[in-house]
Amino acid sequence: MDLATAQSKARELMDAHGLEDWKFQWSRTRTEIAACSYDRIIYMSKYYPGFASDSEFRLVMLHEIAHALLPMEHGHDDVWKELCIRIGGDGKRLVHHSDKFQEAASLYAVVCAEGEILDYCNSKSWSTKGKYCAEHHKPVKVTPNPNRVV
């Protein structure tokens, strides 16, 4: 989904749940899919819509809308969970496809000498000193992420 379409869908969902006076704004973070700021802003990583399905995008927006509809102290408690489900979300604290986001958005991959990707990171200076692949017992290195799509 392109950013213009995503922003339009986000705005529609926010308005449908009474958040007409809230803003929707893109963030540049590669480590967090979305966040609710009680300054009346819902943020979403601009890297996320490029690979999220419509239903995944919708669930993330409803997750953040549920936060916006409640006082901050509720966090991910039972009241938040109940409201999230009531408005059509899944009530889950973490997005089930966040690993997919990390894989697609991270700038770098942590790779063992055998070429197996062990993790993802966003800094080339991520320390690999003294770190070894548990399976192959060989040193790891940081390389450009070959799976990056955004």
Report d(CA 81, CA 90) in Å as an integer: 8
pTM (2 d.p.): 0.76
Superfamily covering domain 3-100: Metalloproteases ("zincins"), catalytic domain (3.30.2010.10)
User: CA triplet 81, 86, 89: central angle to 5 degrees?
Assistant: 65
Place of tokens 């990171």: 121
Range list for CATH 3.30.2010.10 in the chain = 3-100
- pLDDT tens track, the chain, 150 positions: 899 999 999 999 999 999 999 999 999 888 789 999 999 999 999 988 887 889 999 999 999 999 999 999 999 999 999 999 999 999 988 765 567 777 777 888 889 888 888 888 878 777 777 788 888 888 898 989 888 876
